[in-house]
Amino acid sequence: MSSDRADVSGSPKKQGIYYGWYVIAALFFATFLAIGSRQGFGVFVKTWEQDWGISTATVSVAASVGWLVNGVSQPFVGRLTDVYGGRRVVVISLLIMAIATISVSYVTNIYGLIALYGFVISFASGGISPATTGVIIARWFEKKRGMAMAVLIAGGSVGGLIVVPFLSYVLMEFSWQTAYWLVGGLALALGVPLLLIVVRSNPEDMGLRIDGEIPSESGETEIVVRAVGPKFVEKWRDSLSSKPIWQLSIAYFVCGITTASISVHFVRWAISEDISTGTAALAFGVLSGINACGVLVVGLLSDRWQRKNLLGAVYLIRALAFISLIVLPGPSAIWAFAVIGGMSWLATVPLTASLTADVYGVRNLGTLFGFANMAHQLGGAAAVMLFGWAFTAWGSYDVPFAIGALTLVGAGIVSLSIREKKNSVRYVRVPVGASVDLVTDDSSLQGRS
């Protein structure tokens, strides 16, 4: 059985385009703006160094504080999503993020950047993270959860593909202040209204059912057998005593180390290799474009194969990308990294989110995946700071890149060790004679896992 919900009355009927896909489209755009703008931070590092007379390590403080604050926000916004619904959280978060992003254009020193980017934007962007958006999608989709999550996360990849080169172009043609004004204005004028109009926290809010199922035309009561995963619990704290949440979080910690370090230091590394900012931004765009395709492929496969095997493979492939930055000359390394890294970049997100939902259910998904996201961001905060210090001290990123590769190998091994068939509801079979739930036309499944 590949789902924790099975209809024994026959195949469910569907009609038209399921509204859940419109919800994904709106969240896709919000993710496009939020992740794209955060990944573009590295474009401005060298400019801020020159304008404000500071070092790479000093700029890294702002980025590191941002990743730390974003990590701390994850369980908080995740819990708010579980209790109050994701719609309120994502709308308010994007609104605050948009206003603060515009305000960054008026910053004149590193302290203002730390205050606005490090604290306000980074905390608010936690509400446009998978800890909230992934929970919304998990409650709209079940049978195609892996693919739905992948489409959502592809928004971040497309953001890297378009927003990062766009910011580089605006920086070179106008100024970094103009770049922040444009991104913040776009989020405020289009992103916030779109979320407000389209997004709903659950299908029941619109009288719909998960996956677009509709009741029988006969009006008869439907009998639904609901499988319960072996790790499903009523209270989220009880999940912390089980192994999978720690395996997923440890691996995701490494994911944060490697994605954060590249988002902040990739352009700076390229400049140190005599590669222009424009070329570096283009290479990151290529990486993101490849990743958008890779995420969708992984999402499709994850609904058919064990997700933990795909997750382990993604980490190991990313390790090869980091090794390429060390062993190849700069002009070759930048494109090798774009291609190899692009196969794995954000593919960890839908796999980790879906695995968390499969093992623990969706009742407390916001809180639990919020903790996994916190581990991700804490790893990123540490890496951003240490990579900056290493470059300032040694003038090279080789040692940090080598450490990144080693941690990725470890994350791959940890992911492969997850016992998915034992713990995931996808592999639970409902025994003959099991108790059933009676579901009538007006029943609400909100918050049930």
Q: Which is more confidently placed, 27 or 231?
A: 27
Domains of the chain, CATH where assigned? 19-202+235-426 (1.20.1250.20)
Mean local confidence (pLDDT), 32-41: 86
Q: Average pLDDT over the chain, rounded to whole?
A: 84
pLDDT digits (tens, 9 = 90+) for 64-86: 898 889 888 888 888 898 888 89
Strand partners of residue 13: 214
State what percent of residues in the chain have pLDDT above 90: 40
Chain Cα centroid distance, residue 111: 28
The half-sphere exposure of 168 on its side-chain side, counting CA atoms within 13 A, is 22
Mean local confidence (pLDDT), 46-64: 89
Q: What sign for the dihedral angle of Cα 45, 51, 57, 63?
A: negative
Cβ(128)–Cβ(93) under 8 Å?
yes
Q: What sign for the dihedral angle of Cα 224, 228, 233, 236?
A: negative
Nearest to 257 by CA among 384, 136, 143: 384
pLDDT for residue 192? 96
Judge whether residue 12 has pLDDT over 70.
no
State what percent of residues in the chain have pLDDT above 70: 88
206: which 2 tokens?
């619109």
SS3 at position 214: strand
pLDDT digits (tens, 9 = 90+) for 219-230: 554 555 556 656
Judge whether residue 212 has pLDDT over 60.
yes
pLDDT for residue 411? 96
pLDDT for residue 414? 96
Judge whether residue 349 has pLDDT over 80.
yes
Q: Which is more confidently placed, 219 or 59?
A: 59
Nearest to 64 by CA among 346, 395, 389: 389
pLDDT digits (tens, 9 = 90+) for 156-190: 878 878 888 899 899 999 999 999 999 999 999 99
Judge whether residue 13 has pLDDT over 70.
no
Mean local confidence (pLDDT), 373-397: 88
Helix and strand totals (H; E) in the chain: 18, 3
DSSP 343: T
pLDDT digits (tens, 9 = 90+) for 277-333: 889 888 988 888 888 888 888 888 888 889 999 999 999 999 999 999 999 998 999
DSSP 437: E
Q: Which is more confidently placed, 194 or 64?
A: 194
pLDDT for residue 377? 84
Q: Which is more confidently placed, 101 or 344?
A: 101
pLDDT for residue 43? 86
pLDDT digits (tens, 9 = 90+) for 88-126: 999 999 999 999 999 999 999 999 999 999 999 999 998
What's the predicted TM-score (pTM) here?
0.73
Cβ(231)–Cβ(63) under 8 Å?
no
For 221, counting Cβ atoms within 10 Å of its Cβ (0-12 exposed, 13-18 middle, 19+ buried), the class is: middle
Cβ(213)–Cβ(7) under 8 Å?
yes
pLDDT digits (tens, 9 = 90+) for 409-431: 999 999 999 998 888 877 876 55
pLDDT for residue 336? 95
- Return the H-helix or E-strand segment holding 438: strand 437-439
pLDDT band with cut points at 50, 70 and 90 for residue 214: low
